Amino acid sequence: MSDQTTLGMALPGLKIDTIAVTSNLKGCEGVTEAFTIEIEGKVYAFITPETVDTQTIEKSVASSLDENIVRPAGYYAIAQMPLTPKGQIDEGELAARLKGYEKSTDDLLPPPKVHFQDNDSKLSSSASSVCSKGSPNNTSWQDQYLESQLPEKQLARPLRNLRYISMIIYRRIFAVIFIANLIPFCWLLYKGTNCTTLATAVSCNLLPSTLIRNDNVVNALFWLASWVPRSSPLWIRKNAAKVYHLGGIHSGCAVSATFWFGFLVVQASFDAFRPSLVDPTRKMISIPTLGVIYAIMLLLTIILTFAHPSVRRKIHNQFEQTHRFSGWTVLLLFWVLTFLIIVDFTGPAMSVTMVTMHTPGFWILIVITLSIASPWLHLRKVDVVPERLSDHAVRLHFDYRNNPVPGSFVRLSDRPLMEWHAFATIAVPDRSGFSVVVSRAGDWTSKYITNPPTRMWIRGIPTRGVMNVAHCFNSVVVVGTGSGIGPCLPVLLAAAKSGIKVRVLWSTPKPQETFGSEIVNGVISADPNAIIWDTRVKGKPDMVKLVWGLVQESQAEAVVIISNPALTKKVVYGMESRGVAAYGAIWDS
């Protein structure tokens, strides 16, 4: 090893990676906290407690750290890390102390135990290491999996594509619901029916389609899934963790309701020319009723068209607005239609009130209306404390409520009637409030990174999402790319308290510069051997191979990934097709 490397200076071919050094230090025996800073091309390591043997730590780092990374020029054992008012490690204070130690001044804290590397010392490759032997910070570990061949997928291509791509749980739920509706649909089409029966069938499908999107219902289902004991057989927990595919109920029932309504349109069109069974002086279906039916059918067709995945991906904002405003209009027209049909089928000697009380669709509409209205009853404009992390990201701090459940998200907007954006909540244990990380991904996010807001609209309550399923497992590999680490972080911070063993793979450009030391330190505190892959330095890795390596190294029960659609699908398919449970967003709404 060269003198320059020993002294913590970068030579050509070597790089300064304070994150990797910090992670390595935290994996060493006796170290409770560590932080590394770089000043004028030299790296300095601060560790706690002050009783730690810095010479042993130095030997451990030298033998286990990637040989292409610059070693610290000095190791400083201190009583505790200085913190900023926001709870982050104060790099400026550490730099000031470093200068004070070098000048041996008396006005600072007592000098810590300091060990400077000896230029003439030749560290043996067999030096005993107190760091984790399987540390993924060892480049050879990463290369082993990046250069190796993945094991063969378990099923033949047609079967595995059918199971893991074409017929994921979401689509299976959709298929079951649609077939369950198709059987009575065909029977009534053959036997004959009336408009009231068809209207009830439509309402019975719209009810679960609406309820399954209610924040409280979603939270309740995730809560039930998390209550499956982690001592249960893995196959039970693997299936319970698929709870986030519940969107299949929403789309399956919504499409079925539209088909039933199409049947109603045809039936009503014929009934508009038939005499009423309760009053021969008028038609079975009045012209106003028929007009409302046609209007609803038009709106349902528009909603389904914009909700198709290929259309939704291209014009998401238009999809969201169409879904909201057309949906509200359909709900209003359904109320009108319900009373019009009741009037059409009520004879002169019958009480409209009594017929209404005995109409199932009336009571179903009440529940649907309350379900749709409930999130808007929680609409509020709240104060925001922005923390600009970089030109790429901003962190927004909220204190209107305390510590949402790890793995939950909130919806934010500056125009509550036009667009909403979901962001994962970051709740720090034993600290009030929560925060979200907004990274640059379009015009809306760019606007708030450039000019961070001080007030924003929030709708509904924090709602559990896919990261929450990590609580179903005893050990899990958490994968994030870019700002995807935001949804992961609260689960990581709560993992130790929940008795969950986590391993972390975070791939992102310039993690320290982009997201700040608090987030990076949070990742490392959850997993001292976390792989934080700087894509600006190392390029984009083969994520499937790295994830597979982490699963094998940690013997994890499952993988949870937060990333873009393409990479999420690639990793989930790559794991599931090889027998590893994997979970990631499916962008079903």
Average pLDDT per run of 10 along the chain, which is 589 residues long? 40 68 82 85 86 84 78 86 77 80 44 42 28 40 70 88 90 95 94 91 95 93 91 93 93 95 95 82 88 96 90 84 93 94 82 85 93 92 87 85 81 88 78 81 80 90 90 93 86 84 91 84 87 86 90 92 91 93 84
Whether residue 416 sits in one domain with residue 308: no
Q: Is residue 353 part of a domain?
A: yes
pLDDT of residue 13: 53
Whether residue 344 sits in one domain with residue 201: yes
Whether residue 440 sits in one domain with residue 317: no
Whether residue 481 sits in one domain with residue 458: no
pLDDT of residue 300: 95
Whether residue 182 sits in one domain with residue 104: no
pLDDT of residue 534: 87
pLDDT of residue 318: 86
CATH number, position 544: 3.40.50.80
SS3 476: strand
Q: Is residue 434 part of a domain?
A: yes
pLDDT of residue 3: 40
Number of domains in the chain: 4
Strands (E), 285-407: 380-383, 385-388, 393-398
pLDDT of residue 119: 33
Q: Is residue 142 part of a domain?
A: no
DSSP 162: I
Rg (CA), the chain: 30
- Closest CA relative to residue 533, chosen from 568, 560, 503, 505: 505
pLDDT of residue 130: 27
20 lies in which domain range? Answer: 3-120
pLDDT of residue 567: 92
Q: Is residue 97 part of a domain?
A: yes
Residue 124, judged by CB atoms within 10 A of its CB (0-12, 13-18, 19+), counts as exposed
CATH number, position 56: 3.30.300.30
- Residue 437's Cα: distance from chain center in Å? 12
pLDDT of residue 374: 92
pLDDT tens-digit profile of 25-40? 887 888 888 889 888 7
pLDDT of residue 101: 60
pLDDT tens-digit profile of 283-304? 888 999 999 999 999 999 999 9
- Closest CA relative to residue 549, chosen from 18, 149, 31: 149
pLDDT tens-digit profile of 454-502? 999 999 888 998 999 999 999 999 999 988 888 888 888 888 788 899 9
pLDDT of residue 580: 93
Q: Is residue 144 part of a domain?
A: no
- Residue 140's Cα: distance from chain center in Å? 31
- Integer CA distances (angstroms), 483 to 372, 389, 440, 511, 564, in order: 31, 12, 9, 10, 10
